[in-house]
Amino acid sequence: MPINIDHKRAEEIILKAHRSTCSKNDDITKGIKNVLCGTHKTYKYILVNGILAKASKNDANPIALQAGAPMPGAFDARSLCHKVLVPFERDFLKNILGGSNEPFLNKPARFTHLSKDNAVRKGKDKETLLLLIKIFSAIKTSEDAKEYLACVFAILQEQIKEANKTFKSVASYSPELMEIYEFSLLFTSKSFEGETSAIIVGSLEFLLHQYMDGSYTVKTHKVNQSGASSKEVGDIDIYSNGRFYCSIEVKDKNFNEYDVEHAFNKVLRNEGKKAAFIYGTQAEFNEEVILKKAKEFEEKGLFVLIQDVNSHIKNSLFRLPSCTKQDFIQSLIATSKSVNCKETTKEWMAQLFSELKWVSE
């Protein structure tokens, strides 16, 4: 029989653990740190969610991922994560786990339970899976789980501090427009699953609208976010006096007319005036079919733009007043934080800052 986790109690426990001090220093805490410092975001959510479940109810089996798991103590892990952990991460942890709205929709979390037989890539991912099973098997009681949960938050707080330091060495430097253009082309030459293109486009849109009449707001959302908020229309949404105005979709992978149709239809449904579809250097598509699809939406009264990211960067920089040069780095960093980009993307940005000598000596 599956068990129920009281979400209200889980909220109380997670908040108390967040305020507590880590009192453990053993192989389990080392394993927890290993998972949290790794690159597999879904396993991070599974780890914290599983420990939270055990801390909330002694009978809970953190190895279970679904209420139908064939084991005692099975529970609805997705519900606990979505209703308790996700909002807690957003409100208290600055999306340090990954900022996902529905992490249990990802493939590693769609099994009934954790097992060494779960389909997973060999190497680091497999090692993390086995480590999770080992950690969960070693946490025997609810009281132990509460103590380890406090250690989880101690580790995450250190990561948050480090994330805030990432760009501290960047100088208040005012590059020329051609230098910004050079940086942008270099930055987008690596995709990181589309993050670099979205960050550059979002940063430049922010700067462009900042110098308009002050009534515009630009919001750049997390890239490739499954289960995205219904309030999000595209990758970059622009509002005028608080009302949705237009949207930009950024793709750095192959796409077709259905991707364009889906993006533009969302703009129409939200009564937007304009829609852009910007594609990166990694994207391939049928130009004739895509332009035909764009024509269909123009005939519906939607002003559309389909453009490669390099041309879009150059056009945006051409329209920028010269006084915005000094703000480019600040906008870039702010946008990278708003999309909660991967560590590898941050490292690539920092590397370019260093190589181009955009850092303080």
The pLDDT tens digits of the residues spanning 136-146 come to 999 999 999 99
Q: Where are the alpha helices (DSSP H) in 37-141?
A: 41-56, 77-80, 86-92, 124-138
Helix (H) or strand (E) holding 244: strand 243-251
Distance of CA 168 to the CA centre of its chain: 21
Q: Is the separation of the CB atoms in 202 and 312 below 8 Å?
A: no
Q: Is the separation of the CB atoms in 319 and 208 below 8 Å?
A: yes
Amino acid 228: pLDDT: 47
Is the model's pLDDT at 128 over the cut of 50?
Answer: yes
pTM of the model as a whole = 0.64
Strand-strand pairing, 274-279 and 303-308: parallel
Amino acid 171: pLDDT: 65
Is the model's pLDDT at 358 over the cut of 90?
Answer: no
- Mean pLDDT value across residues 15-19: 94
pLDDT band at 168 (very low <50, low <70, confident <90, very high): low
Residues in Cβ contact with 106 at an 8 Å cutoff, skipping those fewer than 6 apart: 41, 42, 100, 226
What is the DSSP secondary structure assignment for residue 64, as one 8-state letter?
A: B
Tell me which residue has tokens 């949290």.
Answer: 36
**3-state class of 142 per DSSP?**
helix
Rounded CA gap, 126 and 334, in Å? 34
Rounded CA gap, 336 and 40, in Å? 19
Q: Quote the radius of gyration of the chain (alpha carbons, Å).
A: 23
Rounded CA gap, 337 and 4, in Å? 36
Is the model's pLDDT at 174 over the cut of 70?
Answer: no
Amino acid 281: pLDDT: 84
Is the model's pLDDT at 49 over the cut of 80?
Answer: yes
Phi-psi region of 162 (alpha: psi -120 to 50; beta: other; left: phi over 0): alpha
Nearest CA to 166 out of 333, 356, 358 is that of: 333
Count the Cβ atoms, other than its own, within 10 Å of residue 221.
20
Q: Which residues pair with 277 in a beta bridge?
A: 249, 306
Residues in Cβ contact with 38 at an 8 Å cutoff, skipping those fewer than 6 apart: 44, 124, 128
Rounded CA gap, 183 and 83, in Å? 41
Rounded CA gap, 340 and 40, in Å? 15
Query: What is the total residue count of the chain?
Result: 361
Compare 61 and 325 and report the one with higher pLDDT. Answer: 61
